[in-house]
Amino acid sequence: MTNRVSTWCACLASLSLLGLVSPVRADDWPQWGGPRRDLVWRETGIVETLPPGPQLPRVWSTPIGNGYAGPAVAAGRVYVMDRPDKTETERVLCLDAETGRVLWTHQYEARYKVDYPAGPRMTPVIVDDLLYTIGTMGHMFCLRVADGSVVWKKQFVDEFDTKLPIWGMVATPLVLGDRLITLVGGVPNALVVCFDRKTGRELWRSLEDTEVGYCPPVLCEFGGRPQVVVWHPRAVTAIEPDTGKEIWSVPFPVRFGLCIPQPRQVGNRLFLTAFYNGPLMIELDEAGTTPRVVWKGKSSSEIRTDGLHSIMST
């Protein structure tokens, strides 16, 4: 994975230059799942066929380090995390979306003690003039988008006694107004922690689990009330965004803590799928406070399946 290259914007720019899409700036993608965090791309002018030839013309490419983190795009800039070769550091990079030029870099020490140690996993989150990142070893930063300077920071292992999952911290935080809600996996009762996104002050903490998991918290609405749904290795649980108070919970223990795909809401139902444990469909009552299991996969094997056993679907 050496010299991982950020070409996501380059491909889109190539299509614009070819006249295949409108030359105006594409929609921003400022976090995991897009502007509404629902994994839906609402861009118009999507091409139906690509031009002939072995590859699209390259507008720009920028060599960066290793990692699994996706890029985030906002206001003409691309933000991505990496881990330079032969270093014990992680970086946050800001690139010009038109040219690929690196505008600034924030680098910090991160000694890896996880499997698959290539680099960071989390897609950055941009809200107004602030950027939020979480590194593999639990280093969380709030940076200014203008220059990458640090506004506030947290270290989950040191400050919350977090037991890191085997593949490190992955889940992207959820920002609701001035609240930033994220998986921490700390004690006591700090599986989920809510911070003031501008100051880093802790507002509330909620739930406890011996494992953190990898699934980002997602905002749903059941019974006319907003709920933050957290799928963690023991259960899928809904909490109040303002207080962290538990609303409902359904046990759903998964092997190796592999709760990864974001739960999907359809009406008053919520669908989940796990690699080993298979699918689960939950239905909420009219008030949105009492869940019931509509159906659940019976197989605990990804080989002998009786339903969708997905590991990283969106």
Weakest-pLDDT range from 147-161, 215-229, 264-278: 264-278
The mean pLDDT value for 192-197 works out to: 98
Where is pLDDT greater, at 299 or 314? Answer: 299
Establish if 8 belongs to a structural domain: yes
Rounded to whole angstroms, how far apart are CA atoms 79 and 76? 10
Establish if 9 belongs to a structural domain: yes
Establish if 288 belongs to a structural domain: no
Where is pLDDT greater, at 178 or 298? Answer: 178
What pLDDT, in 10s, does the model give residues 203-254?
A: 999 999 878 999 999 999 999 999 999 999 999 999 999 999 999 999 999 9
pLDDT at 24: 41
Q: How many domains does the chain have?
A: 1
Question: What does the mean pLDDT of the chain come to?
Answer: 89
What pLDDT, in 10s, does the model give residues 96-106?
A: 999 999 999 99
- The pTM assigned to this predicted structure is 0.89
Establish if 26 belongs to a structural domain: yes
Q: Which of 193-207, 251-265, 289-303 has the highest mean pLDDT?
A: 193-207
The yes-or-no verdict on residue 18 having pLDDT over 60 is: no
Domain of 52, CATH number, reads 2.40.128.630
Rounded to whole angstroms, how far apart are CA atoms 40 and 152? 31
Domain that holds residue 51: 4-155
pLDDT level of residue 178 (50, 70, 90 thresholds): very high
Establish if 175 belongs to a structural domain: no
Look up tokens 């759903």; give the residue: 252
Establish if 225 belongs to a structural domain: no
User: Which two structure tokens, joined as six digits, stand for 91?
Assistant: 């970086």
The yes-or-no verdict on residue 15 having pLDDT over 60 is: no
Rounded to whole angstroms, how far apart are CA atoms 126 and 94? 11
The yes-or-no verdict on residue 1 having pLDDT over 80 is: no
Establish if 187 belongs to a structural domain: no
pLDDT level of residue 27 (50, 70, 90 thresholds): confident
Establish if 172 belongs to a structural domain: no
The yes-or-no verdict on residue 282 having pLDDT over 60 is: yes
The yes-or-no verdict on residue 313 having pLDDT over 80 is: no
